[in-house]
Structure 1
Protein backbone atom coordinates (compact mmCIF):
# COMPACT_ATOMS: atom_id res chain seq x y z
CA UNK A 1 0.00 0.00 0.00
CA UNK A 2 1.22 3.50 -0.82
CA UNK A 3 0.33 6.70 0.99
CA UNK A 4 0.55 10.11 -0.66
CA UNK A 5 -0.22 13.54 0.77
CA UNK A 6 -1.78 16.02 -1.64
CA UNK A 7 -2.01 19.74 -0.83
CA UNK A 8 -3.36 22.60 -2.90
CA UNK A 9 -0.78 25.30 -3.66
CA UNK A 10 -3.14 27.65 -5.51
CA UNK A 11 -6.22 27.35 -7.72
CA UNK A 12 -4.46 25.25 -10.37
CA UNK A 13 -1.43 23.62 -8.75
CA UNK A 14 -1.00 20.80 -6.24
CA UNK A 15 1.93 19.39 -4.30
CA UNK A 16 2.20 15.61 -3.88
CA UNK A 17 4.48 13.85 -1.41
CA UNK A 18 5.13 10.12 -1.41
CA UNK A 19 5.24 9.48 2.32
CA UNK A 20 7.47 6.39 2.27
CA UNK A 21 9.96 7.49 -0.41
CA UNK A 22 9.87 11.18 0.48
CA UNK A 23 9.85 12.18 -3.18
CA UNK A 24 7.72 15.16 -4.17
CA UNK A 25 6.15 16.50 -7.35
CA UNK A 26 3.86 19.33 -8.33
CA UNK A 27 0.96 19.24 -10.75
CA UNK A 28 -0.79 21.96 -12.70
CA UNK A 29 -4.02 22.01 -14.66
CA UNK A 30 -3.44 21.43 -18.37
CA UNK A 31 -3.96 24.38 -20.74
CA UNK A 32 -6.90 22.48 -22.30
CA UNK A 33 -8.72 22.91 -19.00
CA UNK A 34 -7.63 26.49 -18.32
CA UNK A 35 -4.44 25.77 -16.38
CA UNK A 36 -0.97 27.12 -16.86
CA UNK A 37 0.66 23.88 -17.97
CA UNK A 38 3.68 24.68 -15.76
CA UNK A 39 4.06 21.10 -14.54
CA UNK A 40 2.67 17.65 -15.17
CA UNK A 41 -1.12 17.59 -14.97
CA UNK A 42 -3.00 14.80 -13.22
CA UNK A 43 -3.89 13.31 -16.60
CA UNK A 44 -0.23 13.59 -17.66
CA UNK A 45 0.71 11.53 -14.60
CA UNK A 46 -1.84 8.84 -15.51
CA UNK A 47 -0.47 8.73 -19.06
CA UNK A 48 3.14 8.75 -17.86
CA UNK A 49 2.28 5.97 -15.40
CA UNK A 50 1.13 3.86 -18.34
CA UNK A 51 4.47 4.57 -20.04
CA UNK A 52 6.57 3.70 -16.99
CA UNK A 53 4.51 0.60 -16.24
CA UNK A 54 4.88 -0.54 -19.85
CA UNK A 55 8.63 0.03 -20.02
CA UNK A 56 9.22 -1.88 -16.79
CA UNK A 57 6.91 -4.69 -17.98
CA UNK A 58 8.98 -5.27 -21.12
CA UNK A 59 12.48 -4.43 -19.87
CA UNK A 60 13.15 -7.79 -18.18
CA UNK A 61 12.10 -9.67 -21.32
CA UNK A 62 14.54 -7.65 -23.41
CA UNK A 63 17.30 -8.20 -20.88
CA UNK A 64 16.73 -11.99 -20.95
CA UNK A 65 16.85 -11.87 -24.76
CA UNK A 66 20.20 -10.06 -24.72
CA UNK A 67 19.04 -6.52 -25.51
CA UNK A 68 19.87 -3.43 -23.50
CA UNK A 69 16.56 -2.25 -21.98
CA UNK A 70 18.11 1.14 -21.18
CA UNK A 71 17.93 1.89 -24.89
CA UNK A 72 14.14 1.69 -24.78
CA UNK A 73 12.25 4.94 -25.25
CA UNK A 74 8.52 5.44 -25.04
CA UNK A 75 6.91 8.54 -26.47
CA UNK A 76 3.60 9.08 -24.70
CA UNK A 77 0.86 11.10 -26.39
CA UNK A 78 -2.28 11.98 -24.46
CA UNK A 79 -5.55 13.27 -25.89
CA UNK A 80 -8.26 14.80 -23.71
CA UNK A 81 -11.97 15.12 -24.34
CA UNK A 82 -13.99 18.08 -23.11
CA UNK A 83 -17.38 16.47 -22.64
CA UNK A 84 -16.97 14.60 -20.44
CA UNK A 85 -13.63 15.87 -19.16
CA UNK A 86 -11.42 12.79 -19.28
CA UNK A 87 -8.51 11.14 -21.02
CA UNK A 88 -9.80 10.16 -24.45
CA UNK A 89 -6.71 8.34 -25.76
CA UNK A 90 -3.15 7.45 -24.82
CA UNK A 91 -0.65 6.44 -27.49
CA UNK A 92 2.67 4.82 -26.68
CA UNK A 93 5.35 4.56 -29.34
CA UNK A 94 8.03 2.19 -28.09
CA UNK A 95 11.41 2.57 -29.80
CA UNK A 96 14.64 0.61 -29.59
CA UNK A 97 17.61 0.84 -31.98
CA UNK A 98 17.77 -2.95 -32.46
CA UNK A 99 15.44 -4.92 -34.69
CA UNK A 100 13.33 -7.54 -32.91
CA UNK A 101 12.06 -10.76 -34.48
CA UNK A 102 8.34 -11.49 -34.68
CA UNK A 103 8.42 -13.92 -31.74
CA UNK A 104 10.00 -11.31 -29.45
CA UNK A 105 7.54 -8.64 -30.59
CA UNK A 106 4.67 -10.98 -29.66
CA UNK A 107 6.17 -11.52 -26.18
CA UNK A 108 6.57 -7.78 -25.71
CA UNK A 109 3.04 -7.08 -26.92
CA UNK A 110 1.68 -9.63 -24.44
CA UNK A 111 3.72 -8.02 -21.65
CA UNK A 112 2.27 -4.58 -22.43
CA UNK A 113 -1.19 -6.00 -21.78
CA UNK A 114 -0.16 -7.20 -18.30
CA UNK A 115 0.72 -3.71 -17.07
CA UNK A 116 -1.41 -2.98 -13.95
CA UNK A 117 -1.93 0.64 -15.01
CA UNK A 118 -3.35 -0.46 -18.37
CA UNK A 119 -5.62 -2.94 -16.61
CA UNK A 120 -6.84 -0.15 -14.32
CA UNK A 121 -7.87 2.22 -17.10
CA UNK A 122 -11.49 2.27 -18.24
CA UNK A 123 -12.36 0.77 -21.62
CA UNK A 124 -13.52 4.23 -22.76
CA UNK A 125 -9.84 5.26 -22.88
CA UNK A 126 -8.36 4.25 -26.22
CA UNK A 127 -4.86 2.83 -25.76
CA UNK A 128 -2.63 2.38 -28.80
CA UNK A 129 0.79 0.80 -28.40
CA UNK A 130 3.18 0.56 -31.34
CA UNK A 131 6.74 -0.67 -31.68
CA UNK A 132 9.27 1.22 -33.81
CA UNK A 133 12.42 -0.90 -33.63
CA UNK A 134 15.60 -1.31 -35.60
CA UNK A 135 16.17 2.35 -36.40
CA UNK A 136 19.43 3.38 -34.68
CA UNK A 137 19.26 6.92 -36.06
CA UNK A 138 16.02 7.61 -34.21
CA UNK A 139 17.58 7.44 -30.77
Structure 2
Protein backbone atom coordinates (compact mmCIF):
# COMPACT_ATOMS: atom_id res chain seq x y z
CA UNK A 1 0.00 0.00 0.00
CA UNK A 2 1.23 3.47 -0.86
CA UNK A 3 0.45 6.49 1.29
CA UNK A 4 0.53 10.09 0.15
CA UNK A 5 0.17 12.74 2.86
CA UNK A 6 -1.53 15.97 1.73
CA UNK A 7 -1.64 19.33 3.49
CA UNK A 8 -3.64 22.43 2.61
CA UNK A 9 -1.09 25.26 2.77
CA UNK A 10 -3.48 28.14 2.11
CA UNK A 11 -4.53 30.29 -0.82
CA UNK A 12 -5.87 27.22 -2.70
CA UNK A 13 -2.47 25.50 -2.57
CA UNK A 14 -1.71 22.00 -1.29
CA UNK A 15 1.47 20.04 -0.76
CA UNK A 16 1.60 16.28 -1.18
CA UNK A 17 4.35 14.01 0.12
CA UNK A 18 4.97 10.46 -1.06
CA UNK A 19 5.73 8.85 2.28
CA UNK A 20 7.87 6.05 0.82
CA UNK A 21 10.35 8.34 -0.95
CA UNK A 22 9.76 11.74 0.62
CA UNK A 23 9.19 13.27 -2.83
CA UNK A 24 6.84 16.26 -2.76
CA UNK A 25 4.67 18.14 -5.19
CA UNK A 26 2.50 21.22 -4.94
CA UNK A 27 -0.89 21.99 -6.41
CA UNK A 28 -2.88 25.15 -7.02
CA UNK A 29 -6.41 25.69 -8.23
CA UNK A 30 -6.48 26.46 -11.97
CA UNK A 31 -7.01 29.95 -13.34
CA UNK A 32 -10.52 29.04 -14.48
CA UNK A 33 -11.49 27.96 -10.96
CA UNK A 34 -10.32 30.78 -8.69
CA UNK A 35 -6.64 29.75 -8.55
CA UNK A 36 -3.48 31.40 -9.75
CA UNK A 37 -2.34 28.47 -11.90
CA UNK A 38 1.03 28.48 -10.11
CA UNK A 39 1.33 24.68 -10.10
CA UNK A 40 -0.40 21.56 -11.35
CA UNK A 41 -4.07 21.53 -10.46
CA UNK A 42 -5.52 18.34 -8.99
CA UNK A 43 -7.15 17.54 -12.34
CA UNK A 44 -3.84 18.25 -14.11
CA UNK A 45 -2.32 15.54 -11.94
CA UNK A 46 -4.96 13.06 -13.07
CA UNK A 47 -4.17 13.90 -16.70
CA UNK A 48 -0.45 13.57 -15.97
CA UNK A 49 -1.08 10.24 -14.26
CA UNK A 50 -2.63 8.80 -17.39
CA UNK A 51 0.23 9.87 -19.68
CA UNK A 52 3.01 8.83 -17.32
CA UNK A 53 1.30 5.52 -16.52
CA UNK A 54 1.17 4.67 -20.21
CA UNK A 55 4.86 5.56 -20.64
CA UNK A 56 5.79 3.57 -17.53
CA UNK A 57 3.92 0.43 -18.63
CA UNK A 58 5.63 0.65 -22.02
CA UNK A 59 8.96 1.09 -20.22
CA UNK A 60 8.37 -2.04 -18.12
CA UNK A 61 7.55 -4.03 -21.25
CA UNK A 62 10.53 -2.65 -23.16
CA UNK A 63 12.96 -3.28 -20.29
CA UNK A 64 11.80 -6.90 -19.93
CA UNK A 65 12.71 -7.41 -23.61
CA UNK A 66 15.93 -5.38 -23.48
CA UNK A 67 14.56 -2.71 -25.83
CA UNK A 68 15.24 0.99 -25.41
CA UNK A 69 12.35 3.44 -25.53
CA UNK A 70 14.29 6.38 -24.14
CA UNK A 71 12.89 9.51 -25.67
CA UNK A 72 9.34 8.14 -25.92
CA UNK A 73 7.00 10.98 -25.08
CA UNK A 74 3.40 11.82 -24.33
CA UNK A 75 1.37 14.98 -24.27
CA UNK A 76 -2.09 15.16 -22.78
CA UNK A 77 -4.87 17.67 -23.32
CA UNK A 78 -7.45 17.93 -20.54
CA UNK A 79 -10.97 19.00 -21.49
CA UNK A 80 -13.28 19.97 -18.64
CA UNK A 81 -17.05 19.69 -18.83
CA UNK A 82 -18.79 22.81 -20.05
CA UNK A 83 -22.15 22.06 -18.44
CA UNK A 84 -23.25 20.37 -15.26
CA UNK A 85 -20.85 19.67 -12.42
CA UNK A 86 -17.19 20.56 -13.00
CA UNK A 87 -15.30 17.43 -14.00
CA UNK A 88 -12.79 16.09 -16.50
CA UNK A 89 -14.73 15.09 -19.58
CA UNK A 90 -11.96 13.97 -21.96
CA UNK A 91 -8.23 13.33 -21.82
CA UNK A 92 -6.52 13.34 -25.23
CA UNK A 93 -3.16 11.62 -25.05
CA UNK A 94 -0.69 11.70 -27.93
CA UNK A 95 2.17 9.24 -27.60
CA UNK A 96 5.31 9.10 -29.68
CA UNK A 97 7.71 6.17 -29.76
CA UNK A 98 11.36 6.24 -30.84
CA UNK A 99 11.91 5.80 -34.59
CA UNK A 100 14.23 2.81 -34.11
CA UNK A 101 11.43 0.45 -33.05
CA UNK A 102 10.05 -2.00 -35.59
CA UNK A 103 6.35 -2.54 -36.32
CA UNK A 104 6.03 -5.57 -33.99
CA UNK A 105 7.65 -3.70 -31.10
CA UNK A 106 5.39 -0.70 -31.69
CA UNK A 107 2.27 -2.89 -31.81
CA UNK A 108 3.10 -4.57 -28.50
CA UNK A 109 3.92 -1.28 -26.77
CA UNK A 110 0.68 0.26 -28.03
CA UNK A 111 -1.32 -2.71 -26.71
CA UNK A 112 0.22 -2.60 -23.24
CA UNK A 113 -0.10 1.20 -23.00
CA UNK A 114 -3.85 0.91 -23.63
CA UNK A 115 -4.07 -1.42 -20.59
CA UNK A 116 -2.34 0.82 -18.04
CA UNK A 117 -3.88 0.86 -14.55
CA UNK A 118 -4.81 4.55 -14.67
CA UNK A 119 -6.72 4.15 -17.93
CA UNK A 120 -8.50 1.10 -16.55
CA UNK A 121 -9.43 3.12 -13.46
CA UNK A 122 -10.90 6.15 -15.20
CA UNK A 123 -12.66 4.71 -18.27
CA UNK A 124 -15.67 4.90 -18.81
CA UNK A 125 -16.11 7.80 -16.36
CA UNK A 126 -13.65 9.88 -18.36
CA UNK A 127 -13.23 9.62 -22.12
CA UNK A 128 -9.59 8.71 -22.85
CA UNK A 129 -8.65 9.36 -26.48
CA UNK A 130 -5.29 7.82 -27.34
CA UNK A 131 -3.42 8.96 -30.46
CA UNK A 132 -0.09 7.71 -31.75
CA UNK A 133 2.25 10.07 -33.57
Normalised-by-shorter TM-score class: 0.7 to 0.9
Aligned counterpart, 1:16: 16
Instruction: Decide whether the 8 Å contact of 1:94 with 1:130 is kept in 2.
Output: yes
Following superposition, the deviation at residue 109 of structure 1 comes to: 2.5
Following superposition, the deviation at residue 50 of structure 1 comes to: 0.6
Instruction: Decide whether the 8 Å contact of 1:7 with 1:16 is kept in 2.
Output: yes
Q: What is the CA–CA distance in structure 1 between the aligned matches of 2:87 and 2:123, rounded to whole Å? A: 11
1:57 matched to 2:94? The reply is: no
Following superposition, the deviation at residue 130 of structure 1 comes to: 1.3
Following superposition, the deviation at residue 99 of structure 1 comes to: 6.1
Instruction: Decide whether the 8 Å contact of 1:60 with 1:69 is kept in 2.
Output: no
Instruction: Decide whether the 8 Å contact of 2:97 with 2:106 is kept in 1.
Output: no
Q: What is the CA–CA distance in structure 2 between the aligned matches of 1:90 and 1:124, rounded to whole Å? A: 11
TM-score by length of 1: 0.83
Aligned counterpart, 1:37: 37
Aligned counterpart, 1:125: 126
TM-score by length of 2: 0.86
Following superposition, the deviation at residue 58 of structure 1 comes to: 1.2
Counterpart of 2:54 in 1: which secondary structure? helix
